[in-house]
Amino acid sequence: MMTFKHAARALHSEAKSSGMTPLNGKFIVFDGGEGCGKSTQARLLQQRLEAGGARVLLVRDPGSTRVGEMIRGVVLDPDHGEIVMRCEMMLYMAARAQMMGEIILPALADNQVVICDRFVSSTLAYQLGGDGLSADEIRAVAEIALRGRWPDLTLIFDMPVEHSRNRVRAKFEQRTETLFGEQVKVVKDRIEQRPEAYHEQVRQNYLAQVERDPERHKLIDGAHPVERVHQHVVQAISQVLGLDL
């Protein structure tokens, strides 16, 4: 007799062989402080899912649209020191609204898996408290930018700030890196230039988000070797979304 478990397994392998994945139409965010390995891990998950036949959209926030990349240039330019915190928050949200409308919502409607490198969770970590901005205010603006479609799961990559800042320092010593297929010059952006204490607060703001909403956030220890962290990512997605990846 075919049990429910057998049926689910059969459906799952059928889905796999037909290029479907249980993650179809899901929206997953990879976030955390600089140098914590989130972008590497986002690419690894993309490769794993695509190898299984899934259609995956990998995007970075801010960016990934023409307008979003222009806003990214404005908000991260170290020469734009005069940008006030509320403008900074709105610029990130504007880039995000464009990315949602232009590519993320259509991809989700098309049943693709969307992996996003940073998202609202970054604003709730980096802009929270600046010029008195509260989490409720940031969430209210995000609700408009996202049209109410929040991520299904946000993975927060965490490691001690000293450790992640050392990784960032090593990146600057190399001077160039490959980002989204392009070789780019590495210069400290407006946010990266902020002092160590700011980045420590950013870390605490990320941890607070996991504590506040553990159903949609999962903490990943980024200090382990890349392959081990990847296993933790797969486990976390399987567990939180109730899937067998």
Name the residues that contact ligand TMP, by CB under 6 A: 34, 60-62, 76, 92, 118, 122-123, 126-127, 189, 191-192
- 230 and 196 Cβ atoms separated by less than 8 Å: no
Cβ-based nearer residue to ligand TMP, 199 or 218 = 199
Q: Whole-number minimum distance, CB 233 to ligand TMP, in Å? A: 18
From the list 118, 176, 153, the residue with the least C-alpha distance to 240 is: 153
Q: Whole-number minimum distance, CB 3 to ligand TMP, in Å? A: 45
Q: Which residue is nearest to ligand TMP (CB)?
A: 126
Q: Whole-number minimum distance, CB 17 to ligand TMP, in Å? A: 36
209: tokens are 């988000």
Cβ-based nearer residue to ligand TMP, 54 or 93 = 93
Q: Whole-number minimum distance, CB 138 to ligand TMP, in Å? A: 9
DSSP state of 104: I
Own/partner pairs, 83-88, CB within 8 angstroms, 24+ separation? 83/190, 84/131, 85/127, 85/130, 85/131, 85/133, 86/131, 86/133, 88/127, 88/130
Q: Whole-number minimum distance, CB 212 to ligand TMP, in Å? A: 17
Burial of 144 (0-12, 13-18, 19+ CB in 10 A): exposed
Rounded Cα–Cα distance for residues 146 and 165 (Å): 31
- 57 and 113 Cβ atoms separated by less than 8 Å: yes
Cβ-based nearer residue to ligand TMP, 102 or 189 = 189
Cβ-based nearer residue to ligand TMP, 192 or 200 = 192
Cβ-based nearer residue to ligand TMP, 53 or 129 = 129
Cβ-based nearer residue to ligand TMP, 137 or 192 = 192
Burial of 194 (0-12, 13-18, 19+ CB in 10 A): middle
Q: Whole-number minimum distance, CB 208 to ligand TMP, in Å? A: 16
